[in-house]
Amino acid sequence: MLDLSTKKCVPCSSKDMRPMTEQAANDLIPQVAGWNLVNEGGILKLNQSWKVKSFTKGLELFKLVADVAEAEGHHPDLHLVGWNNVTIEIWTHAVGGLTENDFILAAKINGLDIQSLLKRKAAASAAKK
């Protein structure tokens, strides 16, 4: 099985593209440590949350993620709640659910060096994943 972080997202413009089944998503979730599979109103999504050191560290995290997302042409939902709670949701809006692209993006986000942005306790926990 090819490492998801080495793959490239494909354009979502194909009318043939469909959301994956929950079983297919469950098969891929072990490849993206730290991400959760959630079902919101029948729409499967990936999400992960972090506690960052400060508001500006949250914005730095967004910038790192934005650079990866732009390179892949696949854009997650970014949330900064309060001053240090970051949550990222990934799903393919065009199909109303998950595609392999979402797991590829999650794997690439996992490859980012974000330890210096995270609160010490959160960073230690993330390093164990």
CA separation, residue 91 to residues 57, 96, 101, 123, 126 (Å): 24, 8, 8, 25, 22
- Give the sign of the dihedral formed by CA 112, CA 116, CA 118, CA 124: positive
- Residue 126 is predicted with a pLDDT of 60
Q: What is the pLDDT of residues 26-47, one digit of tens each?
A: 999 999 999 999 999 999 999 9
Q: What is the pTM of this model?
A: 0.88
- Residue 9 is predicted with a pLDDT of 79
User: Domain for residue 4, yes or no?
Assistant: no
User: Domain for residue 86, yes or no?
Assistant: yes
User: Domain for residue 14, yes or no?
Assistant: no
Element (H, E) at 40: strand 36-40
User: Domain for residue 96, yes or no?
Assistant: yes
User: Domain for residue 85, yes or no?
Assistant: yes
User: Domain for residue 1, yes or no?
Assistant: no
**CATH number, residue 88:** 3.30.1360.20
Of the ranges 9-18, 21-30, 111-120, which one carries the lowest mean pLDDT score?
9-18
Q: Which domain holds residue 29?
A: 21-128
Question: Does pLDDT of 76 surpass 70?
Answer: yes
Nearest-angstrom CA–CA distance, 92 and 73: 11
CB 5 within 8 A of CB 110: yes
